[in-house]
Amino acid sequence: MSKPRSYKAAGVDVAAGYAVVEKIKKHAVSTQIPGALGDIGSFACFFEPDLTGLKKPVLVASNDGVGTKVKLAAATGRHDTIGVDLVAMSVNDLICSGAAPLFFLDYIAAHKVDPAQVEQIVAGIAAGCRQSGCALIGGETAEMNDLYQPGDYDLAGFAVGIVDKTKILNIERVRTGDVVIGLPSSGLHSNGYSLARKALGKADYAEMLTPTKIYVREILGYLKSGVEIHSIANITGGSFYEKLARAIPAGVNAVLDPASWEPLPVFKKIQRAGRIADREMYSAFNMGVGMCLIVPPKEAEKIDGRIIGKIVGGNKKVIIEGIG
């Protein structure tokens, strides 16, 4: 007679999931802002937005992951920064529309749920939410040993923000003569790691785990103070050639001068070690510029960044001088 089967014997520890909920509640509480309702662990999550001053409120949503950067976290056993990256990937996209983040939800899938490890990850998520001024109102943890290898896990995040319809940033505002302002990055952020890992070794993993910079408060500050911003590009996957191209309309090109800023040392190290061509570097990595703001020249001095390019007539392309 066969032995009775159980979920735990099949490889899924439900008790570990319950332990996770108890461990992460305090981190979620640390992010609460007016409008966040209910408690972590409910079947659904609730948020009551304050619509005061908004003539035509529009909800803005974004979701993302952190790619293969999780492999570095797993290899080093350092899980306290990857959550910041997860939040950054979504809220930095939201701010490109001019939206202020309201709340965030996460999804963590692993070969085996380790409550202590998950708590580290969620502590980072909470830190990212506090930096963004949004609330962590819920999430999900899944144990899938048939899908993931031992030690493996993956993350996904979902953010919702709000903006007045009349203030949504629109690429059609971009004009010939505008300038491109580069805001400095903190490192690789969360893109290009498949290439970076092949170029560098494990000794460099700690440097590559520097968390993604979150630009929400900085950019919201510019918008609230009346700085005229025509368009914003979050320099993530595809880097300048793809992401900056999304931020300009048909009829213009963005021309960047790479000599106008100094790439961070980590990018120089990657390029040397991997013998990577310039074009590939500026296609895969942010090279030290995490956000590009397109503004009229008269607004440039109001922004804590540097002019790295200009908008000229063209056909919606990004040209990097000396590279193409």
User: Per residue in 91-149, pLDDT tens?
Assistant: 999 999 999 999 999 999 999 999 999 999 999 999 999 999 999 999 999 999 999 99
For 176-190, what is each residue's pLDDT tens digit?
A: 999 999 999 999 999
Listed residue (164, 170, 190, 159) closest to 62, CA to CA = 159
Which ranges constitute the DSSP H helices of the chain? 14-29, 69-76, 82-94, 115-132, 193-199, 205-208, 216-224, 239, 245-246, 265-274, 278-284
Is residue 133 domain-shared with residue 221, that is, in the same domain?
Answer: no
Is residue 175 domain-shared with residue 130, that is, in the same domain?
Answer: no
Task: Count Cβ atoms below 10 Å from residue 99 Cβ, excluding itself.
Answer: 26
Tokens describing residue 245: 């191209």
User: 63: which residues sit within 8 A by CB, 6+ positions away?
Assistant: 90, 156, 157, 158, 159
Is residue 114 domain-shared with residue 180, that is, in the same domain?
Answer: no
Tokens describing residue 203: 């000794």
215 residue type, one letter: Y
CA–CA dist 315, 160 (Å, integer): 32
For 197-229, what is each residue's pLDDT tens digit?
A: 999 999 999 999 999 999 999 999 999 999 999
Radius of gyration over every alpha carbon of the chain, rounded to an integer in angstroms = 21
Model-level pTM greater than 0.85?
yes
The whole-number pLDDT of residue 15 equals: 66
Strand segments, DSSP code E, in the chain are 36-37, 46-47, 57-65, 100-110, 135-143, 153-164, 179-184, 231-234, 252-256, 289-295, 306-313, 318-320
Domain count, the chain: 2
Is residue 146 domain-shared with residue 95, that is, in the same domain?
Answer: yes
For 278-322, what is each residue's pLDDT tens digit?
A: 999 999 999 999 999 999 999 999 999 999 999 999 999 999 999
Taking 70 as the threshold, does the pLDDT of residue 10 lie above it?
no
178: domain CATH number is 3.90.650.10
The whole-number pLDDT of residue 13 equals: 62
User: 74: which residues sit within 8 A by CB, 6+ positions away?
Assistant: 151, 152, 153
- Domain's final residue, options 139, 167, 195: 167
